[in-house]
Amino acid sequence: MPNIVSEQQTSTRFSHRLKTPLLAIVAWALLFLASFSSQWQLLENKGFDLLSVYTAPMQSTLPITIVGIDEPSFAEIGLRWPWPRGLHAELVDKLRQAGAAVIAFDLIMDVASTPDQDSQLADAIKKSGNVVLAADWVFQETTYARQWLRVDPLNEFIQAGASGGLATMTLDGDMIIRQLPHNRDAFWRVILDKFDQARPGLLPPVKLPNKPMIRYLGPDHTFPYVSYYQAIDPDKYLPKDFFRDQIVLVGRDTKASPDAGAAQADTFPTPFTASTRWLTPGVELHANILENVVLDLELEQAPPAARYGLLTVAILLATLGMRRWRPLLSALLGIVLMAAIIGMDWWLFRYSNIWLPAASPLFGIVLIYLGQGGMTLYTEQQRKRQIKLAFEHYVPPQVVAEIISHPEQLKLGGQKREVTLLFTDLKGFTAISEQMSPEAVSRLLNRHLTEMTRIILHHNGTVDKFIGDAIMAFWGAPLDDPQQAVHACRAAMEMQEAMVIMRQQLSSEGLPPLYMRIGIHSGSAIVGNMGSNDRFDYSAIGDTVNLASRLEGINKLYDTEILLSENTAAQIQKNFTLRQVDKVKVKGKLEAVEIFTLETNEIINSLNQEAIDAYRSSQWDQSESLWKRVLEISPQDRIAAIYLQRIAAFRKTPPQEKWGGAVLLEKM
């Protein structure tokens, strides 16, 4: 059997050990580069949205109320948008009388309407002293320029005491607002300044991180809403002191109304939109920002060092844990690591107001799992191909399949198995080879070994090794074979039949004839990989192997082509006609072994058995007569000739009593 399997396994292990850290480096580099792309940021944002949804308090705790310009108000008031500013003046007066701390309009009032309407609103603003109006940026394109222009509230309202706050917010690539505006005149800053003027000492100092992000308290309408028509008549529709000390935000809350016109455009998707399918009014975004700032709920994105540090740790742990890739165990480890990262991310988001983008480490674990799995499968396929290439010329296909399915058998060491060993050798091949050129000898030997190997494999045997012109093969390993002895003997007979054909071919080619001897023995042997840790053969060792080899050599004495031990004969006696040859003691063995050959002549077999029985009973005359009858049928029978020689010797020097008929073969 070939010994390249151990070398292949060593190479595979080394290659896998080399590829594993390389995979980790490649995965880290790919995710590091991907993290700078806008598409990856959108993916990270989805993680932010999920954390926002699953950590949201789902309620507001600050005195913030939203007055919604909604469909019921359009129906009740009966006017199309834009409403007259005298109506807003009435609202300001009612809210002032109700004790509102701040009145903030999330409406752009940059263009003058009728003088009397603007005058009414200016008077109401002046009386109230706590009104904030929204400013915005608009994009303007003319023949000469394309630019962003700031749109501030009408100067008349500013002179009346209103404060202008920039209500513009930044949209991310997926049109969701996550960034908390932190410019100096942001809408929320102006509102809080007004509140501090109205209720001094109640607000804590505002400290924002470098790039704050909004923690949404919930989906749309998490904050308390009242309709505009209710707010202008609070005595009728609302409890007493409903607006006292409240920050009142006035803005559009329309979804689809023919009277709303442009008023229905001020809605935006939030992290909750994916699950609720509803957009959130822009005025409520400002309410979220106010509560974030006052209660210090705003979020800070973790610095790059933390993000890439987590990516490194995740890939390192995944690589170490999955270096010996097992689909289920590696998947379980990956799930545990991912759960730990998600849990840590949730905890930081919920309790530390830190958003640690986790898409990169999570994908890193997946990449390591898939990469290790892919490398393992690729290595496994390579190993199977190499095993097949290494063994397909030495063992039958089903044995190759068994080795591929159970590669753990290909390790140093062996196991005790019941096997049948077969040894072959060419008679006088050395003398023949001396008469031929090396090239001719090689061609002849390859021709012979190829045909014999084909026959052995055809009968489910395993070719152990070639020793010059000799072959060692066995049955019963690595696969169990209940018919191992039968298969070995059938192979032996077919091999001898093939030798007859080969001799005819060699004769026609002018080459000398070849004769082959075969020894077969069944018994226990140690079968497995024998050798050193770096180089070993799949082979069989033990007394069974030695005796099979001895039987091959004993053929010379009896001029037989095939000799079997009694162990093998006992397993095949129902399938073959056997001829008992002798009872021999070989060197190194204490017990004598009955040996047999395969014979098809029933008459010779019958005479042979009677002759041996008489011989072992010291009935020399009867045995001699029977052997002579064998020679009459087969004059060249070497077995009969040997027994006649022994009988002649025993007549002169009789054997010891109870000698048992065994003969000692000292040179075998």
**pLDDT score at 428:** 81
The stretches in the chain having pLDDT less than 70 are 1-18, 255-265, 387-396, 398-399, 402-403, 406-413, 533-536, 667-668
**pLDDT score at 7:** 47
**pLDDT score at 634:** 92
Q: 466 has which bridge partners?
A: 471
Q: 578 has which bridge partners?
A: 598
Contact 16, 24 (CB under 8 A): no
Residue with tokens 């061609």: 443
Residue with tokens 């080969």: 502
In order, the DSSP letters of 329-378 are HHHHHHHHHHHHHHHHHHHHHHHS-EE---HHHHHHHHHHHHHHHHHHHH
Exposed, middle or buried by CB within 10 Å (0-12, 13-18, 19+), for 406? exposed
**pLDDT score at 219:** 96
Contact 3, 531 (CB under 8 A): yes
**pLDDT score at 5:** 46
- CATH fold of the domain at 410-600: Alpha-Beta Plaits (3.30.70)
517: helix, coil or strand?
strand
Nearest Cα to Cα of residue 9 among 530, 373, 555, 384 = 384
- Strand extents, DSSP E, 119-173: 131-141, 146-151, 163-166
**pLDDT score at 534:** 63
**pLDDT score at 93:** 97
Q: 580 has which bridge partners?
A: 596
Cα maximum dimension of the chain: 157
* pTM score, whole prediction: 0.66
Q: How many degrees, rounded to 5, is the angle at CA 19 between CA 15 and CA 22?
A: 150
**pLDDT score at 178:** 95
106: helix, coil or strand?
strand
Single-letter amino acid, residue 362: L
322: helix, coil or strand?
coil
Return d(Cα 377, Cα 381) in angstroms, integer.
6
**pLDDT score at 385:** 77
Nearest Cα to Cα of residue 190 among 245, 145, 247, 151 = 247
Return d(Cα 386, Cα 2) in angstroms, integer.
11
Question: Model confidence over 351-376: pLDDT tens digits?
Answer: 999 999 999 999 999 999 999 888 88
Return d(Cα 94, Cα 120) in angstroms, integer.
14
Single-letter amino acid, residue 628: K
Buried b (16+ CB within 10 A) or exposed e, 1-23: bbbebbebbeeeeeebeebbeeb
Buried b (16+ CB within 10 A) or exposed e, 168-188: bbeeeeeebbbebbbeeebbb
Q: Are strands 225-227 and 64-69 parallel, antiparallel or unpaired?
A: parallel
Q: How many angstroms separate the Cα of 588 from the Cα of each of 46, 551, 553, 591?
A: 81, 14, 15, 9
Contact 549, 660 (CB under 8 A): no
**pLDDT score at 407:** 65
Q: Taking the chain, what is the end-to-end CA distance rounded to the nearest angstrom?
A: 26
